[in-house]
Amino acid sequence: MELELFTAYYGLDWLASLSGLLGLYLITEKKPVGFLITAASVIVAAGVSLWADQYGFLVSNIVTFALALRGYLSWKKEVVVRSSSY
């Protein structure tokens, strides 16, 4: 196994993947910081995508970011509605 597998993009690809998974896990636990971690990982992954000329992966990251933002905004709206109904 070649070490380049882990170092080709200075570990940024691995960082993006692992932080993305952490962010998704935190979202499933209804922790708002999960959205921030997911957004940060998508930004890093988008940079790596451009660097690697992987435009399909770039599109996937844009969609992931849009879905995370949509989820955050609808979740925030749900909290406001729920708190104002008491």
For residue 1, being part of any structural domain is answered with no
What digits encode the pLDDT tens for the residues 55-67?
999 999 999 888 8
| CA distance linking residue 37 with residue 50, whole number of Å | 20
Residue where the block lists tokens 């932080």:
19
For residue 33, being part of any structural domain is answered with yes
- Least confident range of 10-14, 19-23, 37-41: 10-14
Question: What's the pTM value of the predicted model, to 2 decimals?
Answer: 0.73
Range of the domain at 54: 8-84
Number of structural domains (the chain) is 1
In terms of DSSP H, where are the helices of the chain? Answer: 4-7, 12-28, 33-51, 55-84
For residue 3, being part of any structural domain is answered with no
Q: Quick check: 68 and 35 in contact, CB under 8 A?
A: yes
For residue 25, being part of any structural domain is answered with yes
Q: What's the alpha-carbon Rg for the chain, to the nearest Å?
A: 16
